[in-house]
């Protein structure tokens, strides 16, 4: 029976300067997995993200030593430090760990969604066989199931995603909603990408330095304007995201009030990510306007993170269920070939005796004997088959399989040949 081994390093026990020594891109993961699978004569998948690098191996003998050696080899002169941060898991524990990782339960932010895609990429780049194929497919299924059946991934976990979630709270679906960006920095871009991922359109990027604004506008498919053209654009957009490096206010209450007269009651969401603030706080008092600054967004994120932690208990229950299903499948793997061998032996004996008696029976008698002997075999083997499958589910399967193989001499005939 194949043994499953996991050896890895993660953010729980290794700081970033250690983790970055053994972080691998997807091509390197692919190459390492192929190399390990060939060298060890088994199956291999390598998962490497900013928070973990893990080797999943499956072969007939224990592969823990080889897996640990492969990880420490990646660390070069930090091999000793890496060795002390390694964790090593086997079989059911390794499966449970992977399912927790795929569900986002082992991440820095519980329920984060990126990890599921990373697990899928690692699986597709790996060298899986029957065991790792089943393990990773079930891990991906577990990750999807947790996100569907719990609310662990629903609430935003960062300021940009909180801004996008607030936009959905005001407007619902964001398809067709237009966004105005004030500033062209990383914060603006991250928030813009969050909004775009939910269907919004970046209409305009306004920046003090037009060239920088044009760079970002090109990436996002938007137009670029100078900051002094903002007032006219307020009439046509639904969301304003501001993160400039200006020392004073960029948009005043009167500017927004003027735009509201033309907007005919359509709501406007303004997100101010700058410190000092770009947008006049009095804007929030205008009818139909909702202004959130960075402190407001951080408070929302903190609240939703605590909610995610609450959902983790439900997610852990689901993960434990899936791990138990994998354990039952893994345990049954050894029983199935034994049951097949026993049935094959029984059929072989039946065919041989029928062939010997064939000449003395008429066609009708032969068909009748074939039918009766087939039924006898089915009834004789039915209960032992059920009992062996039950034993496999109760983790006694290996013992039962060995006993059956010994009693019936399964495989001995082949070995003699």
Partner 1 sequence: MAELLVVPALLAYGEAAFAYAGELRGPGLAGRLATWGVRLGWLAQTALLVGQAASAEGFPWGTWAGSLNLFVWLVVGAYLIWGCTPRYRLLGLTVMPVAAALLALAWAGGGTAVDDGERSGAVLAVHAALMLAGFAGLMLAAGMAALYLWQERRLKRHERGVLKVRVPPLEALDGLAARSVLGSLVLLTLGIGVGAASFERGDFDAAMAVTLGVWVTYASLLVLRHEGWRGRRAAHLNLAGFALVAIVLPLTHFAA
Residue 355 near partner 1 by CB under 8 A: no
Active site residue 188: no
Residue 303 near partner 1 by CB under 8 A: yes
Stretch that binds partner 1, among 119-127, 245-253, 284-292, 405-413 (CB under 8 A): 284-292
Q: How far apart are alpha carbons 181 and 273 in whole angstroms?
A: 11
Among 24, 86, 162, 335, the residue binding partner 1 under the rule CB under 8 A is: 162
Residue 284 near partner 1 by CB under 8 A: yes
Shortest spacing between CB 162 and partner 1, in angstroms: 7
Residue whose CB is less far from partner 1, 151 or 398: 151
Residue 149 near partner 1 by CB under 8 A: no
Residues 54-83 that bind partner 1 (CB under 8 A): none
Residue 151 near partner 1 by CB under 8 A: yes
Stretch that binds partner 1, among 33-41, 87-95, 151-159, 359-367 (CB under 8 A): 151-159
Among 27, 80, 264, 359, the residue binding partner 1 under the rule CB under 8 A is: 264
Shortest spacing between CB 313 and partner 1, in angstroms: 13
Residue 299 near partner 1 by CB under 8 A: yes
Spell out the residues 6+ positions from residue 214 whose beta carbon is closer than 8 angstroms to its own: 205, 224
- Beta bridge pairs of residue 101: none
Among 12, 13, 266, 368, the residue binding partner 1 under the rule CB under 8 A is: 266
Count of residues near partner 1 by CB under 8 A:
29
Torsion, Cα of 133, 139, 142, 147 (10° steps)? -130
Residue 179 near partner 1 by CB under 8 A: no
Q: How far apart are alpha carbons 363 and 295 in whole angstroms?
A: 91
The count of residues in the chain is: 417
Residue whose CB is less far from partner 1, 195 or 410: 195
Residue 128 near partner 1 by CB under 8 A: no
Among 18, 26, 83, 170, the residue binding partner 1 under the rule CB under 8 A is: 170
Residues classed as catalytic: 50
Interaction site with partner 1 (CB under 8 A): 151, 155-156, 162, 165-166, 168-172, 263-267, 284, 287-288, 290, 292, 296, 299-300, 302-304, 307, 310
């Amino acid at each position: 029976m194949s043994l499953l081994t996991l050896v890895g390093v993660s953010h729980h026990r290794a700081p970033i300067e250690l983790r970055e020594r053994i972080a691998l891109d997807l091509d390197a993961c692919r190459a390492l997995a192929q190399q390990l699978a060939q060298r060890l004569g088994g199956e291999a998948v390598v998962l490497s993200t900013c928070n973990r690098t893990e080797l999943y191996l499956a072969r007939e003998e224990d592969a823990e030593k080889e897996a640990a050696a492969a990880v420490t080899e990646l660390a070069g002169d930090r091999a000793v430090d890496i060795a002390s941060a390694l964790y090593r898991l086997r079989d059911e524990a390794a499966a449970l760990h992977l399912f927790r990782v795929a569900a986002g339960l082992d991440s820095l932010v519980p329920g984060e969604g990126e990890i599921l895609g990373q697990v899928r990429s690692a699986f597709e780049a790996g060298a899986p066989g029957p065991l790792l194929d089943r393990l990773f497919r079930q891990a991906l299924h577990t990750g999807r199931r947790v996100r569907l059946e719990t609310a662990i991934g629903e609430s935003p976990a960062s300021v940009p995603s909180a801004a996008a979630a607030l936009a959905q709270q005001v407007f619902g679906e964001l398809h067709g909603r237009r966004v105005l960006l004030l500033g062209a920095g990383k914060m603006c871009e991250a928030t813009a990408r969050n909004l775009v991922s939910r269907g919004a359109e970046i209409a305009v990027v306004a920046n003090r330095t037009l060239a920088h604004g044009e760079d970002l506008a090109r990436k996002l498919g938007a137009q670029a304007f100078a900051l002094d053209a903002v007032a006219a654009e307020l009439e046509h957009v639904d969301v304003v995201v501001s993160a400039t490096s200006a020392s004073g206010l960029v948009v005043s209450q009167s500017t927004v009030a003027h735009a509201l007269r033309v907007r005919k009651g359509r709501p406007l969401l303004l997100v101010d990510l700058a410190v000092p603030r770009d947008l006049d706080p009095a804007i929030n008092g205008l009818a139909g306007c909702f202004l959130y600054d960075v402190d407001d967004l951080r408070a929302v994120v903190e609240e939703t993170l605590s909610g995610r932690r609450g959902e983790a208990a439900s997610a852990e229950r689901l993960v434990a269920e899936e791990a138990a299903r994998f354990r039952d499948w893994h345990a049954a793997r050894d029983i199935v070939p034994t049951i097949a061998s026993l049935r094959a032996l029984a059929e072989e004996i039946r065919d041989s005796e029928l062939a010997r008696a064939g000449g003395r029976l008429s066609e009708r008698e032969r068909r009748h004997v074939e039918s009766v002997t087939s039924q006898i075999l089915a009834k004789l083997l039915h209960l032992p088959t059920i009992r062996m499958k039950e034993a496999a589910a109760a983790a006694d399967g290996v013992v039962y399989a060995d006993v059956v193989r010994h009693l019936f001499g399964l495989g001995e005939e082949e070995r003699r040949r």
